[in-house]
Amino acid sequence: MKEIELEYNSDRENLIIPEYGRHVQNLINHARDIEDPEERQKFAERITRLMMQMNPQSRNLEDYQEKLWKHFFRIAKYEIEVNPPSGQKPTPEDERKQPDRLGYANSNAKFRHYGQNVQQLIEKALSMPEGPKRDGFVAVIGSYMKLAFITWNKDLYVSDEVIKGDLVSLSGGKLVIPADVPIDNLSSYLIKKGSIGNKRSGGRSSGRQSGRSSGRSGRNGNGYKSKGGGRNGGDRRRRK
């Protein structure tokens, strides 16, 4: 009886990229031994298509084919002469490349819980000329500051005085919201002050009121309602 020799994984070559399995690695090793360049190229392209079929959900990702060829060369230990579609052969140095470190903003903001955007908005407001437009912009900053504070401190209550004081501190005392104006009702305050125009609503309301008043006056001429005035007048004349 012929003895069957068993081969254990511990005796085999380690998988370079385990997600593709041992069969793909054996195929790539076989491709390295093919002497004919054209046949080797076609065989390598078939292997990459097989690798793509193993992860079909990723085929629509950007640069996914380039990633497959990088894995192909890595499994082949960069010891194979084939041409990837991009024309650039991966090298072992590419595997050791690391992304550049992200630079952190060196912000000197006093109240970082408002975020960097608030500081940029304040700088924008300081560069604007004084007037209704700037007042409206400052009102938006105050509302956003209160929203940001509540978002990151849900368990704490914040008063309008705190927000207004922080705005004064961040702007160096140049941006001030009146103390008697609540931040939640800044829109009504700006409308009264004239910072927010009410042309659309005013035009419609005035037009409707004038139309209604003219229509009413046109009915009786004296501003009084007269239903069936002609009939009543005729009856009165007959009675006389």
**Residues of 89-123 as b/e, b for ≥16 C-beta within 10 angstroms?**
ebeeeeeeeeeeeeeeeeeeeeeeebbeebbebbe
For the segment 116-125, the average pLDDT, to the nearest whole number, is 89
**Predicted pLDDT at 222:** 46
The two tokens of residue 100 are 């550049």
**pLDDT for residue 219:** 47
**Distances, alpha carbon 27 to alpha carbons 4, 47, 57, 95, in Å:** 24, 7, 23, 22
DSSP category for residue 86: T
* Predicted pLDDT of residue 139: 85
Structural domain boundaries in the chain:
9-95, 112-193
Q: What is the mean pLDDT of residues 221-237?
A: 46
pTM, to two decimals:
0.44
Segment 192-220, tens digit of pLDDT:
666 555 444 444 444 444 444 444 444 44
Least confident stretch, 37-41, 75-79, 143-147: 143-147
Determine what percent of the chain is predicted with pLDDT higher than 90.
Answer: 28
